[in-house]
């Protein structure tokens, strides 16, 4: 009796202290089992302040609340609205200039120490430190001014913004244990950077996330194991993660990755092209693989577009590229159907708007579309004075200048190479001389981002892509006049370009408004207008978005079904609620 009483008291005490986060999976699962995935390369570090490549961040951060190092808030995978991870609640004050985050009480590091405000504020200060060069530094600077983090009490932190910031509630930077990183940091940034490298014994790595590092075999696999002291539970109050083990197999070749999945050696896979989709389909249909694949379930957030250089050394070309009629003519030459059928094996979707299609809370399809039409292109070019063809069959204007430009893309990206080829072929048919040439990626970036002393840049046109972000505010660098990726018309040394068009000023204004407006409905309206202005004026001309073709083995549960999978969230809402059925 006494024993029962003590147990009851302990249970009550536990409830009073701990505030577990409830992870609502697609179904209630069971404990145990291993999830096996393939990753393209080794992690470079386990240190959250050094990690830069996705090969490192996928292991220590991951898409959920953090595999090893927890984060304050994230997007809810079902609604894409902010959701608490380590933060239980928040309060916006001061017209949005201040946000107070309440932390989860009872959350512990795997060495038993409490995760509290000291860890959060310390991690924020290290990420913000210019000497550390954390990849998350941009989360702590808003238009050149710092975002300040401070401790209110043990379980409350406060963030002060220099101006209202719409994505203020998304704080997805990894939080590290102060009692481990603090002493090293006080001895200098190099000491801090040397912690948690690949030679650190896994048992010494303290975790505050769903998993612990179990083992790492270089070049082969990283095995994570369940963190028994994690602060999460499922809807029924069972502790998560369900998985005992979560294995990242390092397979650096995409053919070998396919072979692993076909052989049943990995559980989740995303087929990168039509050929690999067909192989997976064939194998599932012939009952040699117990799994599912959803071809074209979504498109990736990555974009592929052509941008013209308005700062061209050749003033004829610079002026031509500035003409919206010219860019619309080029847009009319984009045979997006062929780009999908020929370049992507029938998978993917045409893209018209600057916001990635999977970003559903902001994406709009209601924008100007310049559907493939060589006649309309020819007509627009005639209006620009290119009416006659020379003896080689290329268009010339009254001054005898030939309509000609170079088009470059990065060598080795077969998708972009094919898209560029299709565009160049169509252009040639109506007499536009496109000299297509693939070049080295670094050289491409140099030409794009490095103006000469007089502000001109070398290239004519470049086909390239950017990773789309889940919040358009994170892409301001591309759209604001002084942005370092304002690639069609680039200013010098962080200044605005010397000559700007009215629509660029409008885009700049909309981006600033979008980043500082807190009302979601108003934000949506702003970004709708932004998408319309870009689609109409075409500072960059979008091509086609590659397909997202997720596949899984049937032994895995807790995954999204076909209608729910998305390129942003992935195949499951939370890693915590993924489980194995066998």
Partner 1 sequence: MWSYIVRRLVQLVPTFFGATLLAFIIIQLAPGDFVTRLELDPTQTRESIASLRQEFALDQPWTVQYAKWVSGVLQGKLGLSLSYKADVWKVIWPRILNSMVLVVLSTLLIYLIAIPVGVYSAIRQYSVGDRILTVLAFIGVAIPNFFFALIMLFIAVWLNDTTGLKILPIGGMTSEFVGGVPYLEAPWWQRTLNVLWHALPVVLVLATTGTAGLIRVMRGQMLEVLNQDYIRTARAKGVAERVAIYKHALRNAVIPIVAGIGFLLPALIAGAGLIEVVMAWPGITPMLLDAISATDLYLVMGFITVTTILLMLGNLLSDLLLAWVDPRIRYN
- Residue 372 found at the interface with partner 1 (CB under 8 A): no
CB nearer to partner 1: give 12 or 445.
445
- Residue 45 found at the interface with partner 1 (CB under 8 A): yes
CA distance 238 to 84: 19
CB nearer to partner 1: give 34 or 156.
34
- Residue 145 found at the interface with partner 1 (CB under 8 A): no
Which pairs count as long-range contacts for 384-391, CB under 8 Å and 24+ apart, including other chains?
A: 384/320, 384/323, 384/325, 384/326, 384/329, 386/431, 389/431
Residue closest to 537 by CA, chosen among 368, 373, 317 = 368
- Residue 13 found at the interface with partner 1 (CB under 8 A): no
Residues 6+ apart with CB under 8 A from 347: 273, 274, 277, 295, 296, 340, 546, 547, 549
* Burial classification of residue 495, based on how many CB atoms lie within 10 Å of its CB (0-12 exposed, 13-18 middle, 19 or more buried): exposed
Binding window for partner 1 (CB under 8 A); candidates: 195-203, 308-316, 388-396, 537-545: 195-203
- Of 88, 215, 296, 496, which lies in the binding site for partner 1, with binding defined by CB under 8 A? 215
Binding window for partner 1 (CB under 8 A); candidates: 119-127, 130-138, 347-355, 362-370: 130-138
| Closest CB 398 distance from partner 1, rounded Å | 39
| Closest CB 462 distance from partner 1, rounded Å | 11
Residue 521's CB is within 10 A of a number of other CB atoms, namely 8
Binding window for partner 1 (CB under 8 A); candidates: 79-87, 99-107, 249-257, 292-300: 249-257
| Closest CB 263 distance from partner 1, rounded Å | 5
CB nearer to partner 1: give 89 or 252.
252
Residues 6+ apart with CB under 8 A from 483: 476, 477
Contact of 267 with 556, CB cutoff 8 Å = yes
Site residues for partner 1, 410-429, by CB under 8 A, read none
- Residue 183 found at the interface with partner 1 (CB under 8 A): no
Give Cα separations from 391 to 50, 428, 431, 433 (angstroms): 59, 14, 11, 13
Site residues for partner 1, 446-505, by CB under 8 A, read 446, 449, 464, 466-467, 469, 474-478, 484-485, 494
Binding window for partner 1 (CB under 8 A); candidates: 234-242, 336-344, 421-429, 441-449: 441-449
Strands 34-39 and 245-250: parallel
- Residue 445 found at the interface with partner 1 (CB under 8 A): yes
Strands 232-233 and 21-22: parallel
CB nearer to partner 1: give 137 or 151.
137
- Residue 250 found at the interface with partner 1 (CB under 8 A): yes
CB nearer to partner 1: give 422 or 464.
464
* Burial classification of residue 529, based on how many CB atoms lie within 10 Å of its CB (0-12 exposed, 13-18 middle, 19 or more buried): middle
- Of 137, 322, 349, 555, which lies in the binding site for partner 1, with binding defined by CB under 8 A? 137
Site residues for partner 1, 255-314, by CB under 8 A, read 255-256, 259-260, 262-263, 265, 288
- Residue 47 found at the interface with partner 1 (CB under 8 A): yes
Residue closest to 100 by CA, chosen among 43, 41, 150, 62 = 150
- Residue 581 found at the interface with partner 1 (CB under 8 A): no
Q: Residue 105: phi, psi to the nearest 5?
A: -80, 145
CA distance 459 to 542: 18
**Nearest 10 degrees: CA dihedral of 277, 280, 284, 289?**
-150
Residue 360's CB is within 10 A of a number of other CB atoms, namely 12
Q: What is the DSSP letter of 64?
A: S
The residues binding partner 1 (CB under 8 A) are 34, 36, 41-42, 44-45, 47, 50, 52-53, 130-131, 133, 137-138, 141, 144, 193-194, 197-199, 214-215, 217-221, 223, 247, 249-253, 255-256, 259-260, 262-263, 265, 288, 440-443, 445-446, 449, 464, 466-467, 469, 474-478, 484-485, 494
């Amino acid at each position: 009796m006494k024993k029962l009483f003590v147990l009851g008291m302990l249970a009550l005490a536990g409830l009073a202290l701990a505030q577990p986060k409830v992870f609502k999976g697609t179904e209630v699962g069971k404990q145990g089992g291993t999830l096996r995935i393939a990753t393209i390369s080794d992690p470079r570090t386990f240190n959250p302040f050094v990690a830069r490549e996705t090969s490192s961040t996928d292991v220590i951060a991951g898409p959920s609340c953090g595999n090893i190092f927890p984060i304050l808030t994230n997007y809810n995978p079902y609604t894409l609205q902010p959701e608490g991870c380590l933060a239980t609640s928040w309060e916006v004050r001061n017209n949005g200039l201040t946000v107070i985050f309440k932390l989860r009480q009872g959350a512990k590091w795997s060495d038993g120490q409490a995760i509290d405000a000291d860890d959060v504020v310390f991690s924020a200060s290290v990420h913000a430190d210019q000497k550390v060069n954390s990849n998350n530094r941009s989360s702590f600077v808003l238009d050149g001014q710092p975002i300040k983090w401070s401790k209110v009490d043990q379980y409350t932190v406060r963030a002060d913004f220099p101006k209202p910031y719409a994505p203020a509630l998304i704080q997805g930077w990894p939080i590290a244990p102060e009692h481990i990183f603090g002493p090293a940091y006080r001895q200098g940034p190099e000491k801090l950077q040397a912690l948690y490298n690949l030679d650190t014994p896994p048992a010494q790595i303290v975790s505050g996330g769903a998993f612990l590092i179990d083992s790492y075999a270089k070049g082969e696999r990283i095995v994570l194991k369940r963190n028994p002291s994690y602060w999460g539970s499922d809807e029924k109050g069972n502790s998560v993660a369900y998985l005992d083990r979560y294995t990242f197999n390092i397979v650096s070749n995409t053919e070998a990755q396919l072979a692993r999945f076909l052989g049943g050696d990995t559980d989740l896979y995303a087929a990168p092209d039509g050929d690999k989709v067909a192989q997976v389909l064939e194998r599932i249909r012939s009952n040699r693989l117990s799994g599912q694949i959803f071809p074209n379930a979504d498109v990736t957030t990555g974009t592929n577009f052509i941008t013209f250089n308005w700062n061209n050394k050749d003033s004829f070309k610079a002026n031509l590229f500035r003409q919206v009629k010219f860019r619309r003519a080029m847009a009319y030459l984009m045979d997006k159907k062929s780009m999908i059928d020929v370049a992507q094996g029938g998978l993917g979707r045409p893209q018209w708007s600057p916001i990635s299609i999977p970003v559903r809370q902001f994406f709009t399809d209601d924008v100007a579309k310049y559907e493939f039409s060589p006649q309309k292109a020819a007509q627009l070019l005639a209006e620009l004075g290119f009416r006659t063809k020379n003896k080689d069959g290329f268009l010339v204007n009254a001054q005898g200048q030939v309509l000609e430009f170079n088009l470059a893309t990065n060598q080795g990206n077969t998708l972009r190479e094919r898209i560029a080829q299709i565009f160049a072929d169509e252009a040639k048919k109506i007499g536009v001389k496109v000299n297509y040439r693939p070049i080295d990626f670094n050289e491409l970036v140099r030409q794009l981002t490095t103006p000469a002393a007089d502000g001109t840049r070398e290239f004519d046109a470049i086909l390239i892509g950017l990773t789309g972000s889940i919040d358009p505010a994170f892409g301001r660098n591309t759209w604001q006049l002084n942005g370092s990726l304002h690639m069609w018309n680039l200013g010098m040394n962080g200044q605005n370009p010397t000559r700007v068009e009215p629509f660029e000023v409008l885009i700049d204004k909309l981006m600033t408004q979008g980043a500082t407006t807190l009302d979601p409905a108003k934000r949506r309206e702003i970004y709708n207008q932004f998408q319309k202005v870009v689609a109409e004026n075409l500072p960059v001309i979008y091509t086609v978005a590659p397909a997202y073709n997720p596949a899984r083995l049937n032994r895995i549960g807790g995954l999204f079904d076909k209608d729910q999978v998305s390129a942003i969230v992935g195949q499951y809402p939370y890693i915590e609620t993924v489980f194995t059925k066998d």
